A and B are shown apart, each in its own frame.
Chain A
Amino acid sequence: MNMSPTDLSTVRRPIDQANGLSNAHYIDPGVFAEERQAVLFNNWPGLATASDVPEIGDAVPLTFLGMPLLVVRDRSGQVRVFQNTCRHRGMILVDAPRKIDGAIRCPYHSWCYSTEGRLVSTPHVGGPGQNTHAGIDRALLGLVEIRSHVWMDVIWINISGTAQPFEQANADLIARWAEFDKPLYHGGADSRFQLTVNCNWKLAVENYCESYHLPWVHPGLNSYSRLEDHYHIENAGHFSGQGTMVYRQLKGEDGKSFPDFADLSDKWDTAAEYVTAYPNVLLGVHRDHSFAIILVPEGPEKTTENVHLYYAAPATDPELRARNTDQWKQVFEEDIFVVEGMQRGRHGVQFDGGRFSPAMDGPTHMFHDWVASQLEAHRAAS
């Protein structure tokens, strides 16, 4: 384990002089733990989607960076995220997805919580058959709720509780894509898939941010969407990515395509944009569908990618939907050898973080610079 802080100074230089984050940021458990707090817990990572809990009472337990969390749709329909830990003896409350019909009952001593997190019953806490005790103030012992916010169907969480409100932290991206701020309909079971990749989560971000690799890694895309059709998207401190000016809709044999989102401006006739909302959510928007990829860091060298596709209408052609899912799955699978190859490359002890193309790697360097800034702020406060 690396016990001394990594050098971030070379990362923070202008792109034409900068090096990338050093190997330790991809392979060292100590740096992984540091980034867990500085980059992920202190900001607004994506955790899951609201579509994972579509109905009132739906509860899904998740482990995020080692933390046991519980996503619940409460009685009023609001999505909430709790620490999945009983306030009594610290027992895990819910160990598999299920419907909460009434209350969340701890399986150990049966303390019960409402879906809003309120502690509502403490059986025998004052002795057999006596369910109250002066020393147990239920008002102070509700489930620990994690700050959360739903946007683009993604459930974003701030575990530290110290980040700016989500709408402020992401104001520029929300404004940029205001035209897509309308109901998104998850395509359902055929429109979600999971990829497990042997790489640090940041490599998936870095690869997603830039179009430089497209002609080499995705020659199928390059046949109609050439490198020169792309542009950088850069908003320092918040998001970066790339856009294309030649998006082509998928069409069925009958020539029909997915319905468009309503009232889009002309730009979106042929534009599509792909952005990483820092730290870990890869988003894509098109005139007729969007997607979200939530990167779940499983360890320094392993990441799960949860992919969800959305449409402008609740009912879309299932065959076309399946083709769209397959098309994106192929693209994302084409990236696996790259991110896993970069991961293996970071065991080369002489690797210095690498240099960036000043012309082509701006969005990727912007992400590195932001990660470094978060680490510097965390170190300064520690």
Chain B
Amino acid sequence: MSDLNDRLLAAHHADDKAALVSLYTRAAAAADGPDAAGFYLTHAYVFALELGHPDAPALRAELIAQGRETPL
């Protein structure tokens, strides 16, 4: 997680939003519990939404499935 954390910070520093989508998605998968996972998944979704990233619909669907978001 430390390496992932470093890469997340680097992506934030570089304003590399595509990388943020990917890295936060990985952080969600590697998170210890559902709330931490939901936190990271939210970040992945928000940056995907901003970018118009192809993963945005699936990320929102996952958040909806977890009761963390509503349909558009």
A-B contact pairs, 14 of them (CB 8 A): A102-B52, A102-B53, A110-B46, A120-B49, A120-B72, A121-B49, A121-B69, A128-B38, A129-B39, A129-B68, A130-B38, A131-B63, A132-B69, A132-B70
Q: When each residue 6-46 of chain B gets 1 if its CB lies under 8 Å from chain A and 0 otherwise, what string results? A: 00000000000000000000000000000111110111011
Question: A103 at interface (Cβ–Cβ under 8 A)?
Answer: yes
B72 closest partner in A (C-beta)? A120
Interface size class of A (residues with CB under 8 A): 10 to 19
Using Cβ atoms and an 8 Å threshold, which residues of chain B touch A112?
A: 46, 49-50
| Complex: chain A residue closest to B47, CB-CB | A105
A/B pair count, beta carbons within 8 Å: 53
The reply to whether A101 and B51 form a contact with Cβ atoms under 8 Å apart is: yes
Looking at the complex, which one of B35, B38, B39, B48 makes contact with A102 (CB distance below 8 Å)? B48
Minimum Cβ distance to chain B for residue A381 (Å) = 41
Q: How far is the CA of A192 from the CA of B25 in the complex (A)?
A: 45
Given A102-B51, A120-B72, also A129-B42 (CB < 8 A): yes
- Complex Cα gap A120–B50 (Å): 11
- Assuming the contacts A129-B35, A129-B39, asked whether A105 and B68 have C-beta atoms less than 8 A apart, the reply is no
Interface of B is mostly: helix
Q: How near does chain A come to B63, taking the closest CB pair, in angstroms?
A: 6
How distant is B54 from chain A, measured CB to nearest CB, in Å? Answer: 10
CB within 8 Å for A130 and B51 given contacts A110-B46, A123-B42, A124-B42: no
Pair B50/A105 contact, Cβ less than 8 Å: yes
Q: Which residues of A contact B52 (CB under 8 A)?
A: 101-103
The answer to whether B61 has its CB under 8 Å from any CB of chain A is no
Distance in Å: Cβ of A119 to nearest Cβ of chain B: 11
